Chain A
């Protein structure tokens, strides 16, 4: 069965620190990968996604993620975080084929950025 593991449940950083959130998935076939973010009191929204091509994808607000197929990983990075990045971050994998989608999420990482 498909699964998604996020290694860090809580991360605390100071502003301007670099961020890397780990994500590993379990699925042997073609996958599509996503990072979603949930700011306090708001809906989940898409941060970035990988379908094919360049394994380094760039998203909104300076975030990027790298797909490493051999490691089944899709880690999220940001060189310099801001207080406004305080949120919960979810990695997700869509392990469907032939247009059949089954979207599985990780447990989430709660990021707190201190000024």
Chain B
């Protein structure tokens, strides 16, 4: 069966520090991968999505970037965090060839101080 792992669950980082959140999927190949930010009253904002290794699409201009170095690995990064980067980040995947439901990681609560 497929599983998705996202870590860390919580993170407190100072302003100006770098960020790296990792997401891996097991039990499938060539998934679509997504990074979302969930904020109260704003739902899930799509940040990045990827349909394959090295293929990243950015949905909103921001201080973050994403990379997909391996088929089932998706990384969310920043070189210098801002206070406004605080939030709840969710990784998700769905199958690329057919339109199926998405499965979500447990999320990362990022607090920038």
Contacts and interface: CB of A to CB of B under 8 A. Distances in A.
B99 A107 contact: no
Q: For this complex, into which size category does the number of interface residues on chain A fall? A: 20 to 34
A108 B60 CA distance: 19
Tell me the dominant secondary structure on chain B's binding face. strand
B99 A32 contact: yes
A49 B106 CA distance: 22
A51 B43 CA distance: 23
Interface stretch (A11-19, A79-87, A94-102): A94-102
Contacts of B101: 34, 46, 49
Interface string B20-46: 000000000000101010000111111
Given A43-B104, A100-B51, A105 B43 contact: yes
Contacts of B99: 32, 51, 94, 96, 99, 101
Given A100-B51, A101-B96, A107 B43 contact: yes
Interface in A6-52: 6, 9, 32, 34, 43-44, 46, 49, 51
A103 B97 contact: no
Contact of B94 (A90, A103, A105, A107): A103
A5 to B, nearest CB: 10
B90 to A, nearest CB: 8
A99 B43 contact: no
Contacts of A6: 43
Most chain B Cβ neighbours within 10 Å, of A6, A32, A105: A105
Contact of B41 (A9, A49, A90, A102): A9
B46 A105 contact: yes
13 contacts: A6-B43, A44-B90, A44-B104, A46-B101, A90-B44, A92-B44, A100-B51, A100-B96, A101-B99, A105-B46, A107-B41, A108-B41, A108-B44
Interface of A: 6, 9, 32, 34, 43-44, 46, 49, 51, 90, 92, 94, 96, 99-108
